[in-house]
Structure 1
């Protein structure tokens, strides 16, 4: 399998997060539960990234998997 993630979408995923809740962002792009992990990375070199929300708010999780600010969008999708 490739060590390059699959682009799930070329736009961020807006998500209402809850303070204190832990989220596992998909790093491989294979999950059917984007932007979060569903275990599809099994037998790849990928693992989900743990993110713990500090406040109740809307965050924009990266969909292209090319962000330099993982797991959040930094606009990298605009260069793909």
Structure 2
């Protein structure tokens, strides 16, 4: 895990963020959750012109969005 957020300056198309932790393309979903038991699905980010900060430390209480928790690591 990285200690800073991924900064997306706008999202042009629907984007899928991994919630299972198994993606080989973190933080993006690569479908790895399909091999796991349970009902795990990716977090869906819809297109926006706004800047979005994506948590990469795994500690955000507002996942997938960064809440600054990485500053305490």
The reply to whether TM is greater than 0.5 is yes
Which digits, 9 at most, give the CA deviation of each residue in 1:15-67, with x for residues without a partner? 2312xx321111133222222101223315543111213x3233111112221
Query: Would you tell me which structure has more helix in proportion to its own residues?
Result: 2
In the alignment, structure 1 segments of 5+ residues that lack a partner are 1-7
Distance 2:36 2:64 in 1: 21
Backbone CA RMSD of aligned residues: 2.0
CA distance in 2, matches of 1:26, 1:48: 5
Q: For 1:71, which of 57, 64, 69 is the aligned residue?
A: 64
TM-score w.r.t. structure 2 length? 0.71
The answer for unaligned runs of 5 or more in structure 2 is none
Q: How many residues align?
A: 70
CA contact (8 A) 1:11 1:64 kept: yes
